Amino acid sequence: MRIIAGKYKGRTLLSPDSERVKPTLDRVKEAIFDKLQFDLIGADVLDLFTGSGALGLEACSRGASKVVMVDSDTSLAKKNVDKLGAEVELMQKDALKALEDFKQNNKQFDIILLDPPFKSDLGLKAIEKIDKNNLLAENGILVWEKSYGINIPLKLINLCVEKIKKYGTIQVIYLKHIKNI
């Protein structure tokens, strides 16, 4: 794993040594960040289910003003943050509980990167909480990396699906916060 662009370009990251953490493939990460490139500068970014921290660190490298990385186990992400000397906020906490904390603090993010464990319903639960609690800023973008073939039965209030891309067995869904009419 490596950082693709920005101030940490070409720097390698430590990879997980367990099946529990599934790093985003470089080609998928590159496609995601090519789409986000103009939205990242100065953005507040949430990397939920951060795992190794690769997505949050890529956002940091490409000019995000603040990156918050959340996972129930941040040990690998912390090693990668320290390796790069990146300035990010690491939260070792259950992702769904962290979303409740953000709601209580009236926090919103410009970009939310969501890469939950593939064989779980955590992605759906997180998106529903993000939408219901209005955690994505107006015109903000949520990027959800998930296993292809799993239905997305979302009933959303503030978010709409903007784009869906498939990369082998991986599907990336871009949701955008729409202004309430």
| Mean pLDDT across 142-151 | 82
Q: One-letter amino acid identity for 160?
A: C
pTM summary value: 0.93
Q: What is the pLDDT of residue 20?
A: 58
| Mean pLDDT across 126-138 | 93
Angle between helices 95-104 and 122-132 (to 10 degrees): 0
Domain coordinates in residue numbering, the chain: 26-177
* pLDDT tens-digit readout, 100-123: 999 999 999 999 999 998 778 899
Cα 76 to chain centroid distance, Å, stands at: 16
- CATH of the domain spanning 26-177, picked from 3.40.50.150, 3.20.20.150, 3.60.40.10, 2.40.10.120: 3.40.50.150
Give SS3 for 78: helix
Q: What are phi and psi of 177, to 5 degrees?
A: -80, 125
CA angle 154, 157, 160 (to 5 degrees): 65
